[in-house]
Structure formats: structure tokens, C-alpha cells
A = this chain, B = another copy of it.
Amino acid sequence: MSARSGVLFDVDGTLVDTTYIHTICWAQALAEAGFHPPMARVHRAVGMGADLLVGHVLGADLDPSVVQSITDGHDGRFEQWYDDVVPLPGARSLLAHCAGRGMAVVLASSSSAKDLDAMRRALGADAFVTAATSSQDAEQSKPSPDILAAAIDQAGLDPDRTVAVGDSVWDAEAASSIGVEFVGVESGGYSRAELQDAGAVHVGADPLALLAAFARTPLARLVG
């Protein structure tokens, strides 16, 4: 089959409103282990792989068992929030619009398979999704591009006709490092300037804003 055009969507903070929940869950797990980094610093680390986040936030190499305990603390807390996860405005409609225009819609998440399942249930847009990745699909998490490369591979995409959409500078860095154009949304709480500085060629407030501006975004060149 010939390679097709597609959109790689990050999920957390891009399609579902989970970034602030993750921030609180990480902050609580860190506090339980005796660490109190500013939550704004934790917030800005959400979107990088969970395996990298603790070391990044604390700026220190910790005993792997401590990191594991903090990660488990986050994961257990986040599960308690599954029923509170809601789609971001326009998320389903944007996926439907892309799929309806012939693009492959790929969920390029580095979340755990369990978290991703919960977020997909909240999103309720599986009918429009061609493929999806989770943390199991790549050796290295974001900002490494492994997840995006796996997503491109799984969906048989042409990288030159692929755009990545995400809410974090880690998404932007991952896209940039394999030459995929990046579109940002502010719904994860990173500001427009932060996303632009990280390489975003277009930034919208949320998926609904991307849909409303569709013709002016890089997504429009993928149609047909």
C-alpha cells in the first residue's frame, strides 16, 4: 500500500483534559517521598515520559527504587481520577474532521496502556482512530521521537505528509527531531510562546480552535 497522510495526536492535555490531574498526582507522590518541587515545575515536565519525569523535576539522580515508588504513587492516584477525565473542547470533532478528509488519525501517546484505555473511553472517538501507541511501543519516551516513529510505522504514513499535534514542548521536540511539522494546543497549560519557541508552526487554544482555523493550519495541506 502507498504511504498515506496522517496526523499524530498526543492524547494527555491535547485531546483529554488530564495535564493538571497528572500535575497534582505527581506532586502528591513526590510529597509522600519527601520532595516539594514547585508544582509549576512538575507541570512543565508532564508530557515527557514518566520514566524521565522524576529525575528531570528533582534535577538529581535518585535511587531507582525511589523513582519507582514515586511513579507508582502517581499511577495509583491517577487511576482514581479516570472517571473525571473529559475530552477537551472540539477533540472528537477534530478527529472526525481529519478522518473524514482521508487522513490517518493516529494517537501517538506515551502513556501506559491502562491510562490510554481510560482516556480513549473518555474521548469516545475510536471510530476515527487508525492506530494508537502506548509506552509499550517505544524503547525511549518523549522527548525522544521513538513514539512518533512507531506511530508513523504502525499507520504506514508518509513522514512528509504527516503533522504532529501536541500540548507540550516535549511533543514539539520529538516531532522536530524527526522533521515532522508540529502544531500546538495551549490546553495542557503551556503558553503560546513556549510552544512557538519549541518549534510549533501554529498554536490554537484547544482542539476546537484548531478545527475553527483548520484551513490556516498545516493540517489543511494533508487533505485528499
Kindly state the separation between the CA atoms of A27 and B36 in the bound complex, as whole angstroms. 23
Beyond A43-B189, A191-B193, A193-B194, whether A38 also contacts B23 by CB under 8 A is: no
Q: How many residues of A are counted as interface, with CB atoms below 8 angstroms from the partner's CB atoms? A: 29
Kindly state the separation between the CA atoms of A193 and B191 in the bound complex, as whole angstroms. 8
Q: Is A19 an interface residue (CB 8 A)?
A: yes
A187 CB contacts on chain B under 8 angstroms: 38, 40
Interface flags, A148-185, vs B, CB<8A=1, else 0:
00000000000000000000000000000000000000
A39 CB contacts on chain B under 8 angstroms: 17, 19-21, 189
Q: How many copies does the complex hold?
A: 2
**Interface stretch (choices A60-68, A82-90, A128-136, A139-147):** A82-90
Could you pull out 20 A-B pairs where Cβ atoms are within 8 angstroms?
A: A17-B36, A17-B39, A19-B39, A20-B24, A20-B27, A21-B24, A21-B39, A24-B24, A31-B84, A36-B86, A38-B89, A38-B205, A39-B189, A40-B186, A40-B187, A40-B189, A189-B189, A190-B191, A191-B193, A191-B194
Interface, chain A (partner B; CB < 8 A): 17, 19-21, 23-24, 27-28, 31, 36, 38-41, 43, 84, 86, 88-89, 186-191, 193-194, 205-206
9 new A-B contacts at CB < 8 Å, known A20-B39, A193-B194: A17-B39, A19-B39, A38-B88, A40-B187, A40-B188, A41-B205, A43-B189, A190-B191, A191-B193
